[in-house]
Amino acid sequence: AAAGDDVIPTPTDPTPTPHTGEVVLETVGARKSFGENAVLSGVDLKVHKGEVVAIIGPSGSGKTTLIRTLNAMESIDDGDVLYRGKPVGYTRLHDGTRVPVSDRTLAATRQHIGMVFQQFNLFPHKTVLENVTFAPVELGKLPAGTAKFMAMKQLRKVGMAAHADKYPHQLSGGQQQRVAIARALAMEPDAILFDEPTSALDPELVDEVLKVMTDLAAEGMTMVVVTHEMRFARAVADWVIFMDQGAVVEEGPAERVINAPEHERTRKFLARVM
Ligand code: ADP
């Protein structure tokens, strides 16, 4: 249309092509063994800005190991782990050898990559508020007053502001996990890794945590989620990765992989868990 024409936007803009754009996190040929046990056998993974990537698969397939490599909580034996194109947790010498970086350098990278664990991992002797302010203050990101203000904002977001002065043991698992999410958000991360965030919860507490994660996804947070919650993966994830025996067997848009899996192993797995 020429300038000045009344252009009526189509009511439903076509969805942007999934799994494209700026790459935030990446593994390239990631290999890892524990003794004789090859846990990652050359995994390529890409996580784009604003995308929710769900990693699914049977127990022992390497999902947790893979997500933990993304912030170097787990080292790899071969291949690369990149955050915005830079190696995470190591540098490469001229001959290509990987050498671990200093704790300080690693901590600097990890500031951008939040992590939420299956077991919440809150500091038991700190209050909810102290749990959320700890990292920003300790790492010199924010002065104490600002950290407190920001923490209350994050706690409101996860519905936990009224519990700011409580200790973790006074909270339900679902509440603790929501605090853990607020704690991750307090560092204003570029992406958040969730390692089976609802697996340790009583069934009636799962939805309150999934709701918070769904809200975060809707706000455009870049998320990687190891999960057994197939309904969540189908509804919230943009991209699903199915792993088996240390390899990516199948990946694609969530709807496609979960509703119409192409591989027999994916079909068998989904038939078992859904
Ligand atoms: P998933 O998350 O898919 O259940 P994991 O990544 O936890 O799989 O584990 C993959 C395999 O690696 C399993 O066989 C597990 O026993 C093994 N494994 C994981 N962590 C360790 C470790 N620290 N030491 C030895 N073996 C491990």
32: left (phi over 0), alpha (psi -120 to 50) or beta: beta
CA–centroid distance, 91 to ligand 1, in Å, is 25
Task: Look at residue 1 in the predicted model and tell me its pLDDT.
Answer: 44
Mutate to test the pocket of ligand 1, among 41, 43, 55, 64 (most ligand atoms within 8 A of CB): 64
183 φ/ψ angles, rounded to the nearest 5 degrees: -65, -40
29 C-alpha to center of ligand 1: Å? 18
- pLDDT for residue 17: 73
Question: Does residue 175 line the site of ligand 1, with CB under 6 A?
Answer: no
Average the pLDDT over each of 6-10, 71-75, 79-83, 232-236 and give the range with the smallest value. Answer: 6-10
Tokens of 227: 């999960």
Ligand 1 binding pocket includes 61 (Cβ within 6 Å): yes
**Residues written for the chain:** 274
Centre a 10 Å sphere on the Cβ of residue 99 and count the other Cβ atoms it contains: 9
228-249 pLDDT, tens digit each: 999 999 999 999 999 999 999 9
Instruction: Determine the Cα–Cα distance for residues 89 and 83; give it in Å rounded to an integer.
Output: 10
Instruction: Summarize pLDDT for 110-131 with one digit per residue, the tens.
Output: 999 999 999 999 999 999 999 9
Tell me the pLDDT tens digit for each residue of 205-228. Answer: 999 999 999 999 999 999 999 999
Kindly state the DSSP code that residue 219 receives in the 8-state scheme: T
Whether the CB of 75 sits within 6 Å of ligand 1: no
